Structure 1
Amino acid sequence: MDYSQFPQHKVLCIDMKSFYASVEAVNRNLDPLTTLLAVVGDTERSGSIVLAASPALKREFNIKTGNRLFEIPKDPRIHIVPARMGLYLETSMAFTKLLNQYVPIEAIHTYSVDESFFFCQGLERTYGSAYDIAKHIQMNILQQLKLPCAIGIGPNKVVAKMTMDCISKKVGIAECRYEDVQRLLWPLPIGDIWGIGSKMKRHLNRLGIMTLGDLAQYPLDILKRRFGVMGEQLYYHAWGIDLSPVLVDPREDVRKGFSNGITLMRDYSKEEALTVIYEISDKIATRLRQINKAARTVSLAIGYSKTEEIRGFNHSTTLPEATNISKHLSRACIAIMNKENISGLIRTVHISVTNLVSDEVIQLDLFTGPEDEKLLRLGKALDGIQSRYGKASVMRACSLTESGTAISSAQKIGGHTQ
């Protein structure tokens, strides 16, 4: 591979170690690295999932994310605490603000609540090499937030991410250049690589691909025939090639579109799922009005219960006119459902809107204009009430039924209590 034709960026991938557990430890004036602590969704339910385990708990008792509460030993040294998503989001924002002290926001790509990409080109004259910059940031995070982190350094996001996941989490900071890819990354098991889930791992293993090096050496034409565009992407990622932009506009995703969805607490019938569609449509319409946008395309994704032997679907429809009215969004989704002829039990509902335009282009025709104008005024009035008094201050009557989710979701952030 001739790396000279590819960009040579300086990208840091920064991951906060055991983020939820570390934040909880710091909040209790405990050492996040030595404290035995688990964050669970519900401390009153023995089957509740462990959302985060401190490094010490992982090391001493092998308790990890995904374990159940009943699997945690009855040891008085172990702190078991409920999730507080509001606190974690607040800390995540403080983390981003800290990074923003070094570079403009366009050079920070927030990948998740506890992980960010950081484009550090141009800081060399102030802080030194990329490794020196990473060391300075790591120390600053520890001093200001009292949180440990791991940092991977690479010429692009993919290499920085793989380095962080597979090397930095063990040593703190690690760097991998293009010329280091074969030595540092190729020996890694294919299942440890970012973007390769358990299903893809099984497919690759059947082809005799066990390591990242095996993937890099596999014939590209066969990978493309077998996996399409994904096969080509995996091949180039195995060589450390990634052409995605390192500078991002955080507002760009909103301009393109956004989504909202829910994994239901139980299986729903088609009729019950309609309530959820109404509720999600309300949320998306509110968001559109807040940013003065309207959507031309609506997508509905339905996931069936594990008891069903049928695959879910994700279908889209383009509206005659752009809209930010909930009624039109829900109608579009219901039309997709009816066309799909749903008969199985439903477990996930997801709605997204794309092809966003300024709400100034919305045109009210002669026949539907008066009704839409009333719906728009009503929507804006409800937006104002919810903004002032909370999301649960006003809602649809159907949200008060057993199939409603609006009340419980209004009390949570990220699916957990605030």
Structure 2
Amino acid sequence: MDYSLYPRNDVLCIDMRSFYASVEAVKLHLDPMKALLAVVGDPSRSGSIVLAASPALKKKYGISNVSRFFELPKDPNLHIVPAHMADYLKVSTEIIKLLYQYVPKEAIHPYSVDEVWVTVNGLKRRFGSRLEIAERIKSDILECFGITCSIGIGDNKFLAKVVMDLHAKKQGIAECTYEDVPQKLWPFPVETIWGVGSRMKKNLQRMGIITLGQLACFDLQRLRKRFGVMGEQLYWHAWGIDLSPVIGNFIKTEQKGFGHGISLLRDYSKEEVHVCILDLCEEVCRRARTAHMAGKTIQLGISYSKETGGGFSRSASVSIPTNVTMDMYHVCMDLFFRFYDGISSIRRVYVTLTHLYGKQATQLSLFEDRAKKDDIGYTMDAIRAKYGATSLLRASSYTDAGITIERSKKIGGHYA
């Protein structure tokens, strides 16, 4: 591979080690790397998920971020704390502000609340090599926040991310240039890079592709024919090539739709689920109105409880684009009664509004006052924006089946 044809940048991928657990450990004046600590979504429920486990807890008991509360060990030294999402967002924001000491905001690309890319091109004379910059940032984060981070360094965003995942989480800081790809990437299984889930892994294995090295040496045309654009992307990633922009105002993809879903804390009956569906439709339509969009395709997804399993996902189209809550709700309820099996308890619900149009595409009807419907929706949105999300609710939201009030107390599905 002639790497001289591809750009070389100085990119860092910074990942906070067990971020939620580390923040909670610092709050308790504990060493995040040595303390046994678990952050649980809701400690009042035995089946609640462990959102984060400290490195020591992971190493000693094998607890991971998919473990459940009841699986935690009965260790007297174990600290169990509820999630405080507002605290994690605040610390994440402060870490970004710290990075402004090194680079402008155009060179920072947050990937998640605990992971960020930073492009440090042209900083050698001021701060040293990219390895020295990584060491300084790592030291600053530890000194200012008490949190240990792992940093991957690469010639592009992909290499920085993958070397961080594969090597830096053990070494602290790891670097990968184009020339290092055969040594540092190729021996690893294909599922260690983006875009390779369980299904893709099985498909690649059927073709005799187990490692990244085998993927890199496979015929590109066959990959493109079998997997399309995704196959070509995987091929170039196996060679360490990524043309994603590393600096600038990163462009957001065009909005394809609006969706909202919830995993219910208990089984819902068919008599209760309509309240949940209405609350979800309200939120989806509010987001669509905020974006001045309306949609023609409405989808309802229902998952049954573990006892029965299964569920369904169905969609229907309306003739005129809408962002009116009751319009969407009536379509969802029609789908529910058509495809629900009539007996199973319900544990997850989601609704989506797609096939979007600008609000100006909405047509007037001779048989209904659509302008009045729209005005009601926008007026409700304005009241909630000014006085809070729960300042104006439908009566059904106050019943035991309502979800809006409880969700208003959370950030990202967890208590603030």
In the superposition, the TM-score normalised over structure 1's length comes to: 0.84
Aligned to 2:339, the other structure's residue is in SS state: coil
How far apart are residue 114 of structure 1 and its match?
A: 1.0
Change beyond 3 A, Cα 1:348–1:366: closer
Letter of the 2:10 partner, please give it: K
What is the rounded CA distance, in whole Å, between the counterparts of 2:308 and 2:46 in structure 1? 27
What's 2:31 paired with? 31
Change beyond 3 A, Cα 1:284–1:70: closer
Letter of the 1:373 partner, please give it: A
What's 2:42 paired with? 42
How far apart are residue 283 of structure 1 and its match?
A: 2.0
Return 114-123 or 53-62, whichever deviates more: 114-123
What is the rounded CA distance, in whole Å, between the counterparts of 2:98 and 2:257 in structure 1? 28
What is the rounded CA distance, in whole Å, between the counterparts of 2:318 and 2:235 in structure 1? 35
Change beyond 3 A, Cα 1:148–1:368: farther
Whether the aligned pair in 2 keeps the contact of 1:15 and 1:151 (CA below 8 Å) is: yes
Whether the aligned pair in 2 keeps the contact of 1:47 and 1:70 (CA below 8 Å) is: yes
Instruction: Report % sequence identity.
Output: 47
Change beyond 3 A, Cα 1:351–1:167: same
Return 106-115 or 14-23, whichever deviates more: 106-115
What's 1:198 paired with? 198
Letter of the 2:405 partner, please give it: I
What is the rounded CA distance, in whole Å, between the counterparts of 1:240 and 1:348 in structure 2? 40
Please tell me whether residue 391 in structure 1 is matched to residue 392 in structure 2.
no
Deviations 1:142-189 (A, max 9, x none): 222221111111222221111111111111111111111111011112
Please tell me whether residue 349 in structure 1 is matched to residue 350 in structure 2.
yes
What's 1:413 paired with? 411
Please tell me whether residue 73 in structure 1 is matched to residue 73 in structure 2.
yes
Aligned to 2:30, the other structure's residue is in SS state: coil
Return 40-49 or 165-174, whichever deviates more: 40-49
Letter of the 1:113 partner, please give it: V
Whether the aligned pair in 1 keeps the contact of 2:364 and 2:370 (CA below 8 Å) is: no
Whether the aligned pair in 1 keeps the contact of 2:259 and 2:350 (CA below 8 Å) is: no
How far apart are residue 327 of structure 1 and its match?
A: 3.9
Q: Residue 400 of structure 1: which of 398, 401, 410 is its match?
A: 398
Aligned to 2:372, the other structure's residue is in SS state: helix
More helix by share: 1
Please tell me whether residue 294 in structure 1 is matched to residue 293 in structure 2.
yes
Change beyond 3 A, Cα 1:318–1:165: farther
Return 8-17 or 120-129, whichever deviates more: 120-129
Letter of the 1:233 partner, please give it: Q
How far apart are residue 207 of structure 1 and its match?
A: 3.4
What is the rounded CA distance, in whole Å, between the counterparts of 2:357 and 2:185 in structure 1? 40
Change beyond 3 A, Cα 1:161–1:96: same
Please tell me whether residue 87 in structure 1 is matched to residue 84 in structure 2.
no
Aligned to 1:75, the other structure's residue is in SS state: coil
Please tell me whether residue 7 in structure 1 is matched to residue 36 in structure 2.
no
What's 1:140 paired with? 140
How far apart are residue 96 of structure 1 and its match?
A: 2.5
What's 1:375 paired with? 373
Please tell me whether residue 187 in structure 1 is matched to residue 187 in structure 2.
yes
Return 252-261 or 191-200, whichever deviates more: 252-261
How far apart are residue 20 of structure 1 and its match?
A: 0.6
Return 27-36 or 137-146, whichever deviates more: 137-146
Return 89-98 or 223-232, whichever deviates more: 223-232
Change beyond 3 A, Cα 1:264–1:179: same
Change beyond 3 A, Cα 1:265–1:203: farther
What is the rounded CA distance, in whole Å, between the counterparts of 1:301 and 1:159 in structure 2? 39
Change beyond 3 A, Cα 1:263–1:226: farther
What is the rounded CA distance, in whole Å, between the counterparts of 2:245 and 2:410 in structure 1? 34
Letter of the 2:301 partner, please give it: I
How far apart are residue 5 of structure 1 and its match?
A: 2.3
* Structure 1: gaps (5+ residues): none
Aligned to 2:166, the other structure's residue is in SS state: helix
Return 25-34 or 131-140, whichever deviates more: 131-140
What is the rounded CA distance, in whole Å, between the counterparts of 2:70 and 2:219 in structure 1? 47
Change beyond 3 A, Cα 1:354–1:15: farther
What's 2:222 paired with? 222
Please tell me whether residue 326 in structure 1 is matched to residue 325 in structure 2.
yes
What is the rounded CA distance, in whole Å, between the counterparts of 2:266 and 2:40 in structure 1? 20
In the superposition, the TM-score normalised over structure 2's length comes to: 0.85
What's 1:119 paired with? 119
Return 309-318 or 215-224, whichever deviates more: 309-318
Letter of the 1:78 partner, please give it: L
What's 1:365 paired with? 364
Whether the aligned pair in 2 keeps the contact of 1:26 and 1:146 (CA below 8 Å) is: yes
Question: What is the aligned-residue RMSD (CA, Å)?
Answer: 3.3
Return 14-23 or 2-11, whichever deviates more: 2-11
Deviations 1:104-131 (A, max 9, x none): 4333222211111222223333222222
What is the rounded CA distance, in whole Å, between the counterparts of 2:160 and 2:275 in structure 1? 43
Whether the aligned pair in 2 keeps the contact of 1:297 and 1:319 (CA below 8 Å) is: yes
What is the rounded CA distance, in whole Å, between the counterparts of 1:93 and 1:390 in structure 2? 23
Aligned to 1:20, the other structure's residue is in SS state: helix
What is the rounded CA distance, in whole Å, between the counterparts of 2:79 and 2:12 in structure 1? 32
Aligned to 2:111, the other structure's residue is in SS state: strand
